[in-house]
């Protein structure tokens, strides 16, 4: 049975999705691809991995009845814990959503009581280059008016059609091979991730275990020299090639491999690119990714 959560506001109850609910939500979101690839991938990952750090809430549309698959709101939340400089542990929630009414999204976020706005950090992903005014007001009310604790990254989302990804022919480059990452590679991914202050090696290890990833390794000594992995709801993320091994096609190789693996797992291959990162725009366009829509990523904390 569906479990009614305590997340309730004037628009009605939000329901915490059970495994049975996730199947229905995924079917509903299938018809909204590729535009809503982020929330689709989140629901798909919650279903495939049963990761307890993934939470999916939904609200049925007022016209829905019984088992009818019609919704007005779907929200995906993932939580990571990280250690602050003062050695205290802090939770960071990453949130993505689909809704037919942007005005109601802020009140829905506020009603989800697993977020403690007094202590937790929140990273919101949503369409357009800037937050909806209602979301902006929510963040100000919960985390204050100051600018030091809020950062917004206007970005663009690029994707590769699933059919194209499934038909990719993985290149071969002399002296290296490509395969999925393993647990032991989490440390190097963490060390080179520029936003590592909001995650831990343990969190990255878990994502490597549960989600598609790719790494290029030297045949001579099995050294990992280039990598990419899934980081929901960012899609394909954390792309990096060691400085001394650049300009050899390794980034293209891991992107090819991961795009195909992502599609084989039922996800749409997509990536978020901060608008100032012109090199990434050129790279993903060269890999036959197509512009999907403008988005923003907003970090806030009290």
pLDDT tens per residue across span 210-228: 999 999 999 999 999 999 9
Q: Are residues 24 and 138 in the same domain?
A: yes
Whether 119 is covered by a domain: the verdict is yes
What is the distance between the alpha carbons of residues 264 and 261, in angstroms, rounded to a whole number? 5
Q: Are residues 253 and 205 in the same domain?
A: yes
Whether 287 is covered by a domain: the verdict is no
- Whether omega before 233 lies within 30 degrees of 0, making that bond cis, reads yes
Whether 301 is covered by a domain: the verdict is no
pLDDT of residue 83: 83
According to the 3-state scheme, what is the secondary structure of 80-98? EEEECCCCCEEEEEEEEEE
Q: What is the pLDDT of residues 238-255, one digit of tens each?
A: 999 999 999 999 999 999
Whether 124 is covered by a domain: the verdict is yes
* Closest by CA position to 126, among listed 185, 42, 250: 42
Contacts 24+ apart (CB under 8 A), 246-252: 248/173, 249/171, 249/173, 250/173, 250/176, 250/216, 250/225, 250/226, 251/226, 251/283, 252/171, 252/283, 252/286, 252/287
pLDDT of residue 250: 98
Whether 283 is covered by a domain: the verdict is no
Res 6 pLDDT > 50 = no
Q: Are residues 187 and 235 in the same domain?
A: yes
Res 281 pLDDT > 60 = yes
Q: What is the CATH number of the domain that holds 225?
A: 3.40.630.30
Q: Are residues 126 and 193 in the same domain?
A: no
- To the question of pTM greater than 0.85 for the whole model, the response is yes
Q: Which of 150, 180, 206 is the last residue of a domain?
A: 150
pLDDT of residue 84: 82
Res 106 pLDDT > 70 = yes
Q: Are residues 247 and 172 in the same domain?
A: yes
Q: Are residues 126 and 17 in the same domain?
A: yes
What is the distance between the alpha carbons of residues 128 and 40, in angstroms, rounded to a whole number? 18
Q: What is the CATH number of the domain that holds 14?
A: 3.40.630
Task: Report how far apart the first and last C-alpha atoms of the chain are (Å, whole number).
Answer: 37
Across 19-23, 61-65, 125-129, 215-219, least confident range: 61-65
What percent of the chain clears pLDDT 90, i.e. is strictly above it?
83
Q: Are residues 114 and 188 in the same domain?
A: no
Q: Which of 150, 174, 208 is the last residue of a domain?
A: 150
Whether 274 is covered by a domain: the verdict is no
Q: Which of 120, 150, 180 is the last residue of a domain?
A: 150
Whether 218 is covered by a domain: the verdict is yes
Q: Are residues 167 and 218 in the same domain?
A: yes
Q: Are residues 115 and 177 in the same domain?
A: no
Is residue 273 within 8 A of residue 107, CB to CB? The reply is no
Number of domains making up the chain = 2
Q: Are residues 129 and 173 in the same domain?
A: no
Q: Are residues 198 and 63 in the same domain?
A: no
pLDDT of residue 2: 47
Whether 155 is covered by a domain: the verdict is no
Q: Note down the domain range covering 79.
A: 3-150
Q: Are residues 47 and 101 in the same domain?
A: yes
């Amino acid at each position: 049975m569906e479990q009614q959560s305590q997340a309730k506001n004037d628009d009605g109850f939000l329901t915490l999705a059970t495994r049975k609910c996730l199947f229905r939500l995924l079917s509903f979101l299938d018809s909204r691809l590729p535009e809503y690839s982020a929330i689709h991938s989140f629901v798909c990952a919650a279903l495939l991995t049963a990761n307890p750090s993934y939470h999916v809430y939904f609200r049925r549309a007022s016209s829905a009845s019984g088992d009818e698959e019609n919704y007005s709101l779907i929200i995906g939340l993932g939580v990571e814990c990280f250690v602050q400089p003062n050695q205290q542990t802090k939770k960071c929630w990453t949130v993505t959503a689909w809704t037919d009414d942007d005005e109601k999204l802020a009140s829905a976020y506020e009603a989800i009581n697993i977020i403690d706005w007094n202590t937790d950090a929140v990273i919101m992903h949503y369409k357009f280059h800037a937050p909806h005014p209602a979301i902006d007001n929510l963040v100000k009310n919960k985390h204050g008016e100051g600018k030091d604790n809020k950062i917004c990254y206007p970005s663009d989302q690029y994707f590769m059609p699933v059919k194209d990804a499934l038909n990719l022919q993985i290149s071969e480059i002399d002296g290296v091979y490509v395969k999925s990452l393993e647990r032991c590679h989490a440390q190097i991914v963490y060390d080179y991730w520029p936003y590592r202050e909001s995650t831990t090696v343990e969190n990255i290890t878990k994502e490597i275990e549960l989600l598609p990833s790719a790494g290029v390794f030297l045949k001579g000594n099995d050294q990992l020299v280039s990598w990419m992995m899934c980081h929901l709801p960012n899609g394909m993320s954390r792309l990096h090639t060691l400085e001394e091994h650049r300009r050899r096609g390794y980034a293209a190789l891991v992107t090819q491999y991961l795009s195909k693996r992502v599609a084989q797992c039922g996800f749409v291959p997509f990536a978020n690119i901060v608008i100032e990162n012109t090199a990434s725009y050129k790279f993903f366009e060269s890999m036959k990714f197509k512009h999907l829509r403008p988005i923003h990523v907003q970090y806030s904390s009290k």
